[in-house]
Structure 1
């Protein structure tokens, strides 16, 4: 089963079964988190909740702990007792041994970002996501953003590299979370930028962020009208043509088709 990916994914701590249904009702895709959102002492309870409180596997991803950890093996054992078959692998570098799952590889360390092309090439990897804070921590840094909230250069590089790797292999790319929950304006700008570049989705850490992300990925009425007009004009033109003072060739037509595809997806 291929899980629905976005445009708004919402992390939910896997030890909070009381939030599962609410998260599922709010987001396009729920990520039940067995890793960072759960204290190590509570992970066994989280695995029990995962088994005992099922959600729709078509819209649910489970984030499991990194390979090489005892929690990783326990996570997989718990998953074997569920219908969930799409996992997000934390701190991904190697996805071997996970052939029974569709994998979202979370490239959030220096090793993970450098491995993103190899990860994207694996047949059971269906998406890449990147993470800024773990990446900077893996480098010995202390902040992924400047004082004005812009990403620092290494984060910009990682974001672009993960997007390019996903695009090169025809899989989904998921943008990192926006940690400042109250900064919906900043989140909206970041999500609009992600959509314009080709990201499939943006991950959220709070339900209040979901609609902001959805709106950012939803083309405006003006954008849809312009895209339709360009496609209509292309049907009457022979080859390259000028529309509203702009040269339109095949790449611009593909941009217009993508706008219409996003609009259809948002309305479905």
Structure 2
């Protein structure tokens, strides 16, 4: 059921309000991929202008390289399928060359189909941030045009009827932790990219770094951000330490020299630990390959 998934050059995605075209270039320069937002970041009365700004930017020949080089370098978050703005967003993107859209409050494969009817060439990042969306994340992940799944904490808790996704200590509440894990498992089970939710307090670099390290270690390929200052923090958190890389490379070298079970630095090494080491080396190689400047 898996499909070929577009890959980004780095882990840091950055939301950029679509009604602020003066920020487009800076966002693309700072982040590994940019989500031009037509939804929450734009006031209702500004949405028509935001569509015009985005369409005009896409039609500029100098920007075609961003759209053609990497399918998910430029993502557009449209409005939810239940809103009147949904159809207007799709029409505005038709013929622009945009190759990736994010669907907020995704709740079914049928909603994805509505996108492909108008934009047959795009891949879809499904944002599961309602109870139904999380429950159906497995179904959504199997859709042929879905390339990634993201989860959202605040909309989810609001939809449930709660008041906060985190405890006073800053940790996710159990229902949020469950939803995060469910979306991660649904995405990876079907070969799609898993995207971790935003960290809203952009002044708390330490908290963001800890959460990004956990996201990387858990298997999230990307983490969404709401402020340019968060990009560097996420990149550093996703980059394996020198000690991790040295250990992983040495372990793999020992595995290649030996047959059967391997004892390495006082511990028995089996297949899962070998795969962990391979993942660390792969992350290090991606980091060395370079990313846009901070």
TM-score (norm 1): 0.97
Q: Does 1:108 align with 2:129?
A: yes
Segments of 4+ moved more than 3 angstroms: none
Q: What is the CA–CA distance in structure 2 between the aligned matches of 1:238 and 1:193, rounded to whole Å?
A: 33
Q: What is the CA–CA distance in structure 1 between the aligned matches of 2:141 and 2:155, rounded to whole Å?
A: 20
What is the match of residue 121 of structure 1? 142
What is the match of residue 78 of structure 2? 64
Q: Does 1:197 align with 2:203?
A: no
2:206 is aligned, of 185, 208, 229, to 185
What secondary structure is seen at the aligned counterpart in 2 of 1:96?
helix
Q: Does 1:37 align with 2:41?
A: yes
CA contact (8 A) 1:6 1:202 kept: no
Q: What is the CA–CA distance in structure 2 between the aligned matches of 1:6 and 1:71, rounded to whole Å?
A: 31
CA contact (8 A) 1:3 1:60 kept: no
What is the match of residue 114 of structure 2? 97
What is the match of residue 132 of structure 1? 153
**Deviation of the 1:246 alpha carbon:** 1.7
What is the match of residue 88 of structure 1? 102
Q: What is the CA–CA distance in structure 2 between the aligned matches of 1:70 and 1:82, rounded to whole Å?
A: 21
**Deviation of the 1:98 alpha carbon:** 2.4
**Deviation of the 1:62 alpha carbon:** 0.3
What is the match of residue 76 of structure 1? 90
What secondary structure is seen at the aligned counterpart in 2 of 1:147?
coil
Q: What is the CA–CA distance in structure 2 between the aligned matches of 1:22 and 1:37, rounded to whole Å?
A: 17
CA contact (8 A) 2:9 2:286 kept: no
Which moves more between the two structures, 204-213 or 64-73? 64-73
1:4 is aligned, of 8, 30, 51, to 8
CA contact (8 A) 2:151 2:179 kept: yes
CA contact (8 A) 1:51 1:81 kept: no
CA contact (8 A) 1:92 1:107 kept: yes
**Deviation of the 1:6 alpha carbon:** 4.1
CA contact (8 A) 1:129 1:175 kept: yes
**Deviation of the 1:248 alpha carbon:** 0.7
What is the match of residue 26 of structure 1? 30
**Larger relative contact order (Cα-Cα within 8 Å, sequence gap ≥ 6):** 2
Q: Does 1:236 align with 2:257?
A: yes
Structure 2 gap segments, 5+ residues each: 290-294
Structure 2 CA distance for partners of 1:5 and 1:166, relative to 1, 3 Å: farther
